[in-house]
Homo-oligomer: A and B are copies of this chain.
Amino acid sequence: MEIDYKNVKVIGFDADDTLWVNETYFRDAEMEFSKLMAPYETANTIDQELFKKEIENLSLYGYGIKGFVLSMVESALELSNNSIGNNVIEAILNIGKDMLNKPVDLLEGVQEVLDTLSQDYRLIVVTKGDLLDQERKLEKSGLLHYFHHIEVVSDKQEANYSKLLNHLDIKPSEFLMIGNSLKSDILPLINIKARAIHVPFHTTWIHEQVIANENDNKKYKTVTSLLDVLTILGKNPKD
């Protein structure tokens, strides 16, 4: 199926793991947590229980580092049967603070792609993370000026994107979303007839994993580097 991008006016970028490394830091944090809890359970049980706790708390805490830290503290109490030392609680709080203070590690081609696309399109960031955290990363990375604004959504389902298009006052065919999560950045957009380009990241949180079926696959393109987006949209990198 030929996909038509000629009406696109606004391009939405997912931020974490599309513009910069993020999931890797969560995986590292989980490994640190696992080490802290090693006296109480096997690594496998610790991983599973933390994941269960995160999903259990997701409707209450939403996405982002702070909810993740609260779930780690709660898991630590449960996994240790309420016998965890204060030093471990402190270590968990510090894991969270370290995550919030991590340097911004841009993915390949980000600067070049934003520099080129910002000349012809309105660029926005669409995130379900924490606004403060995302703003901080955009500022640290020097990318803030490429974006018209940051859209914070509580989730990335069809209804959230429909609300977003309504808010932007544009038609689905005028919106292109670029992101690493099939479940959050691609499929909901295809379902509401918007455009989407999938740029997978090497690590994906299990909660974000879905299996693409062949039908879906015809309605969006998957590329291995953000730079390929320029080719798809027929743009040459700015000299």
Q: 1/0 contact trace for A121-144 toward B, CB 8 Å? A: 000000000111101000000000
Which residue in B60, B83, B87, B131 is a CB contact (below 8 Å) of A82? Answer: B87
Quick check: is A73 within 8 A (CB to CB) of the other chain?
yes
Copies of this chain present in the complex amount to: 2
Residues of B within 8 A of A167 (CB): 148-149
SS class of chain A's interface: helix, strand, loop or mixed? helix
Residues of B within 8 A of A60 (CB): 97, 100-101
Q: Give the distance in Å from the alpha carbon of A134 to the alpha carbon of B6 in the complex.
A: 37
Closest to A85 in B: B82
Q: Give the distance in Å from the alpha carbon of A70 to the alpha carbon of B80 in the complex.
A: 20
Which A residues are closer than 8 A to B by beta carbons? Answer: 60-62, 66-67, 69-70, 73-74, 77, 80, 82-84, 86-87, 89-90, 93, 96-97, 100-101, 130-133, 135, 148-149, 152-154, 163, 166-167
